[in-house]
């Protein structure tokens, strides 16, 4: 069938356009059937890696928390022991600086360093004082002169700590009834040194051989329970100067 030239070109163009569209559709359909769909999710390897990382993070966090907790607990323990050490040193300072002495019966006023193997320290110390330090409120010794002894010991339950003993200073020590107080279970003992001014023996010593004298300079070391077992005890050291006035006598000067 013959068509005019213009009509034939139009028909051929329409046919080509139809074939092109059909081919493109077929090609798209072929590609879409061949391309696999991408799955959403995690592989087993990724899950295992995530679990390992989480476990490491939790372990580090746990160790850090444990370290901080132990450090905080240790600091609190040290602070508590420091508080007890300061308290005992304060009481010792008050009592020692109120040490009494008289030329009448000077042996009754003598300062003493006594070997004491109990606890951490090496000594107990004893002196006559007018201070109420270490004495419970309301006790008769708080209002008068008395002899006091401080050193390591045990309470009624066998707990080791610092024990204070007091008794009348003029009484017979072998017959008099003595009173005992358990001061602190954190302080396990003490050591004492005195500065001896005797000619030829001048210097620090842990012996006081004089039965009728008191020292002018005393060094006290307290031993507190360590924060960790098998560690060295915590030490608190205090240097005390004892005021030395003229001896107390019964002589009364004429009033002027």
pLDDT at position 198 over 50: yes
The predicted structure's pLDDT at residue 222: 93
- As a whole number of angstroms, the distance between CA 16 and CA 12 comes to 6
The predicted structure's pLDDT at residue 199: 65
With a threshold of 0.75, does the pTM exceed it?
A: no
The predicted structure's pLDDT at residue 182: 92
pLDDT at position 180 over 80: yes
Q: What average pLDDT does this structure show over 98-123?
A: 88
Helix, strand, coil shares of the chain as percentages rounded to 5? Answer: 35, 25, 40
Q: What average pLDDT does this structure show over 50-62?
A: 91
Going from the C-alpha of 146 to that of each of 105, 107, 169, the distances in angstroms are 14, 14, 5
Give the rounded percent of residues in the chain with a pLDDT score beyond 90.
Answer: 31
Which residues, in sequence order, are CB contacts of 156 under 8 Å at separation 6+? none
Q: Choose the weakest-confidence range: 42-46, 127-131, 147-151.
A: 42-46
CB atoms within 10 A of CB 220: 22
- In this structure, what are the phi and psi dihedrals at residue 118, rounded to the nearest 5 degrees? -70, 150
- As a whole number of angstroms, the distance between CA 237 and CA 93 comes to 11
pLDDT at position 36 over 80: no
Tens-place pLDDT, residues 1-27: 544 555 444 445 444 444 454 454 444
Mean of pLDDT over the chain: 79
Going from the C-alpha of 118 to that of each of 63, 112, 124, 125, 127, the distances in angstroms are 39, 17, 10, 13, 20
CB atoms within 10 A of CB 45: 8
Q: Choose the weakest-confidence range: 1-15, 96-110, 166-180, 211-225.
A: 1-15
| Segment (H or E) for 205 | strand 203-205
Q: What average pLDDT does this structure show over 203-209?
A: 89
Domain boundaries, the chain: 78-241
pLDDT at position 177 over 50: yes
């Amino acid at each position: 069938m013959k068509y005019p030239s213009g009509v034939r070109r139009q028909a051929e163009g329409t046919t080509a356009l139809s074939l092109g569209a059909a081919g493109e559709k077929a090609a798209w359909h072929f590609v879409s059937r061949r391309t696999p769909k991408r799955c959403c999710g995690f592989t087993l390897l990724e899950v295992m890696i995530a679990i390992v990382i989480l476990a490491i993070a939790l372990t580090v966090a746990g160790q850090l928390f444990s370290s901080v907790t132990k450090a905080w607990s240790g600091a609190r323990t040290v602070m508590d022991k420091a508080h007890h050490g300061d308290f005992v040193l304060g009481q010792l300072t008050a009592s020692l600086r109120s040490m009494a002495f008289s030329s009448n019966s000077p042996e009754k006023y003598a300062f003493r360093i006594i070997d004491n193997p109990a606890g951490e320290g090496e000594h107990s110390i004893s002196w006559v004082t007018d201070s109420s330090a270490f004495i419970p409120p309301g006790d008769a010794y708080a209002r008068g002169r008395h002899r006091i002894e401080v050193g390591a010991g045990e309470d009624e339950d066998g707990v080791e700590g610092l024990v204070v003993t007091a008794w009348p200073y003029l009484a017979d020590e072998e017959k008099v009834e003595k009173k005992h107080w358990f001061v602190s279970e954190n302080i396990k003992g003490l050591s004492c040194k005195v500065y001896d001014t005797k000619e030829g023996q001048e210097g620090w010593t842990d012996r006081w051989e004089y039965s009728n004298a008191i020292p002018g300079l005393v060094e006290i070391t307290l031993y507190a329970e360590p924060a960790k077992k098998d560690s060295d005890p915590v030490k608190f050291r205090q240097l005390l100067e004892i005021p030395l006035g003229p001896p107390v006598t019964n002589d009364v000067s004429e009033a002027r």
